Structure 1
Amino acid sequence: MITRGRYIVIEGNDGTGKSTQVRLLQTYFHEQGRSVVTIEEPGGGSAPTTPAARYLRAVIKNGRLQRDPEINLALFSAARRELWQHSIAPALERDAVVLAARNYLSTLAYQGYGEGLDLDHIRKTTALFTDARYMAPDHIVVLTMNDDAERKRRLAERSSSVRLDAFESRADDFQYSVNNGYAALARDMVLPVVECIAPDHRKTPAEIQAEILRIIS
């Protein structure tokens, strides 16, 4: 197993600001003099990727292509193998910091809790396609948003400029199942959680970043 580098994953449902936090962390680690690679699963980010990974990402994101949960698991697993072999593992080998928006935890939440696949089946399948280091990042931080109206507002704002993908556009009951899944996974895996909405205000990206840095430092 690769022991060099740092592999940090920011997780959470759509609209929680994962990509924003990855960008802020990228700036932070660059200022510390570290080499940084960013990943946006499936198949995106700053790291060199492959035509296969880009193609798989396009298929996965396409909401007009109907498929069952097992096909989704197969597509994500194939994309993760490409990412691991060609982007994440080489970056860790050269002692870089890998910052990822999503990891296999997303498939546990979306295909497990959202679409009903067995969680152990998802874990075993992912392990076959990746590596022990992929399965156990140095840090996984889960972003939550216990304000459904705010989450919908953010997705509506995004949909004004880009088409929502196959999972962002799913019905409310699916989104609730995914949210509940993230809460259960964080509890069962003892993962740190950062809530994006304070009791009296919406946290700024800088406030959320400060909480994440306290966790990973």
Structure 2
Amino acid sequence: MTRGKFIALEGGEGTGKSTQAKLLVGALTERGIQAILTREPGGTVGAEAIRKLLLDPPGEGWGHRAEALLFAAARSDHVERLIEPALNAGTWVITDRYLDSSRAYQGGAGGVGDSSILQLHDIGSKGLRPDMTLLIEVSPETVAERLAQRDGADSDAIGGRSAAYHGDVARTFRQISQQDPRTFSLIDGNADIETVHSRILEAISPLLGESD
């Protein structure tokens, strides 16, 4: 059986990843490709429990190192119980966030360091990487408008951090994408939903066998 493809959608807050991930699964299904949608942190019972701890933390919350460990634990369960079995069964897996979010948020903006995040990933998830990562980039002004509409005055523990922190996240994402241009595709997310969706379909066309 042919192994499924693994695609991760990445980006900062308010870039439209969740919407585009859903649209991508729908487009693949229309093409007769079996595909599932998942997210990080989350995707399995254990990982969803850790998600609650991360986004609504007890007490004073987690430091960046503790966050990195929790994300790595959630991802380990996610990979072992959902992602790998699905890929081995020939199913395409589309995830809303994956490893590179940890590299950008905890590793870069949080100061934990990229090598530490990658080491945790090697231990917890055997180094599994996506076949393609779609990095959606949106201007800070557009992000602010979208978050105001989506969250109002309520944000989770990570999304509600300072503009400087999220600026560091965006810069780290771009740096990561430049390190591995072969598997990264930068998507301009400033346009309307359907236009961004079309850009994503164009980007994944090599995986679909629709281009060289």
Does TM, scored on the shorter chain, surpass 0.5?
A: yes
Match of 2:210 in 1: none
In the aligned structure 2, how far is the partner of 1:35 from the partner of 1:126?
27
Shift of residue 170, structure 1, vs aligned partner: 0.1
SS at match of 2:36: strand
> 1:37-186 maps to which residues of 2 (within 5 A)?
37-44=36-43, 49-50=44-45, 52-62=46-56, 65-132=60-127, 134=128, 136-145=129-138, 147-160=139-152, 163-186=154-177
Divergent runs of 4+, >2 A: none
Structure 1 residues not aligned, in runs of 5+: 198-202
Q: What percent of counterpart residues are identical?
A: 28
Shift of residue 149, structure 1, vs aligned partner: 1.9
SS at match of 1:192: strand
SS at match of 2:13: coil
Structure 2 residues not aligned, in runs of 5+: 206-212
Q: Is the 8 A contact 1:39 1:101 kept in 2?
A: yes
Determine whether 1:204 maps to 2:203: no
In the aligned structure 1, how far is the partner of 2:154 from the partner of 2:80?
30
Residue type of the partner of 1:192?
A: S
Residue type of the partner of 2:134?
A: V
Deviation track 1:150-203 (CA, whole Å, cap 9, x = no partner) reads 11111111113x942111100111011111111111112212211212xxxxx1
Give the alignment's TM-score, normalised by structure 1.
Answer: 0.88
Residue type of the partner of 2:5?
A: R
Give the alignment's TM-score, normalised by structure 2.
Answer: 0.90
SS at match of 1:5: coil
SS at match of 1:98: strand
Aligned pairs, how many?
202
SS at match of 1:194: strand
